[in-house]
Amino acid sequence: MSLLNHPSDPKVKETATVNQNKAIMKQNGSESSIDKEQVTRMKNKRLDLSYSQLKWETIFRRLLMIMSIILLVLVVGILITLIWQSMPSIKALGIKFLWGKIWDPVQNIYGAYPFLIGTLLTSFTALIISIPFSYAVAIYLGEYNTKGWLSDLLKNTIELIAAVPSIIYGFWGLFVLVPIIRTFEAKIGVAPYGIGIFTSSLILAVMIIPYAASLGTSLIRMVPSPLKEGAYALGATRFEVIRSVILPFTRTGLFAGVLLSLGRALGETMAVTMLIGNTSAVANSLKAVFFGPGNTMASVIANEFTEADHTVYLSALIELGLVLFFVTVVINLIGKRIITKFTNN
């Protein structure tokens, strides 16, 4: 926490110690060279080398540390900027920004509730849809088909899913997925818009599969074979080995992969913006909430930021970013708690 409060202090100390070290090294170096001159140079080549090596070690360590601290400063900086920039909106709207249901730039009334719900709903629906696929892929590639061209092909294809730009998913969704969903919606008797929360959750699910899947595959491949062989020796079938040896062994890692997917789903903007319907009205029935149009925090920001033409409006959008930041942090913290709990058991 002290790092958070005084990011400059440790740096100052760092440079001070570096200088000290340098000074000591110089002294040592000069003394030895005065005493024995050439002899030393010939005999203690190894010693000189170790001095420079030592110096390099210190520099390298400091470098790593500075890099990490820069990242920390960056995140804290983002947080401070978000808070700072959203002050006008916080002052004007107060805490009721969080549960206000109306988003009206004309009247200057802003409420984040519809977008908060939209974000959580799409992300968790996507997660629930994606988990069976990512786990299945992870188990298949990690245990059943670990080598050979098919395995490589599958693994590369799944990694490719993550590399496709999200706007491509958006267009694919708009032109391929939406008509299919529309027919489906007409059959089950909801307004056949085709776009909405459900459609964007589907696209999101596809987009986040690779994160949990490829992490899961690597982890399952790393399960020590003595463990598995032990289970086989006891007469376990392959399914039993997976269920009672591999899954318990990799549980934490698999969950971490899921968390990674969730993080991606929460912040995904472009594809969702194209498919969610972008309406800030809160639907009144459960069916309409799920299949109807909605909006997420990220897509509201993407949509309205460039043309936000007065101070409170702009600031309310930034405050949405702040809320999204906190939602991500809270979900990550909960995830970490769950992981540590599993690991301790």
CB closer to another protein out of 34 and 106: 106
The region of 12-20, 75-83, 292-300, 334-342 touching another protein under the rule CB under 8 A is 292-300
DSSP string, 136-172: HHHHIIIII--SSHHHHHHHHHHHHHHHS-HHHHHHH
Q: How would you classify residue 295: left for phi > 0, otherwise alpha for psi between -120 and 50, otherwise beta?
A: beta
Question: What token pair was written down for 108?
Answer: 């200057």
Q: Which stretch binds another protein (CB under 8 A): 15-23, 41-49, 230-238, 297-305?
A: 297-305
Residue 139 neighbours by CB distance under 10 Å: 20
Position among 138, 195, 213, 259 found at the interface with another protein (CB under 8 A): 195
Is residue 151 within the footprint of another protein (CB under 8 A)?
no
Question: For residues 193 and 277, is the Cβ–Cβ distance under 8 A?
Answer: yes
Which residue among 122, 123, 299, 315 contacts another protein (CB under 8 A)? 299
> What residues contact residue 122 under an 8 Å CB cut-off, 6+ apart?
197, 200, 201, 204, 265, 272, 276, 294, 296
**Which residue is listed with tokens 């003394």?**
31
Instruction: Say whether residue 193 binds another protein (CB under 8 A).
Output: yes
Query: Which of 44, 58, 279, 328 touches another protein by CB under 8 A?
Result: 279
Task: Choose, by CB under 8 A, the member of 73, 90, 164, 281 that binds another protein.
Answer: 281
19 lies in the site for another protein, by CB under 8 A? no
* Binding to another protein in span 92-111, by CB under 8 A: 102-107
Tell me the closest approach of the beta carbon of residue 213 to another protein, in angstroms: 30
Tokens 């708009």 correspond to 174
Told to check if 191 binds another protein by CB under 8 A, we report yes
Give yes or no for residue 182 binding another protein (CB under 8 A).
Answer: yes
DSSP E strand boundaries for 256-330? none
Footprint on this chain of another protein (rule: CB under 8 A): 102-107, 174-175, 178-179, 182, 191, 193-195, 273-274, 277-281, 293, 295, 299, 302-304, 306-311
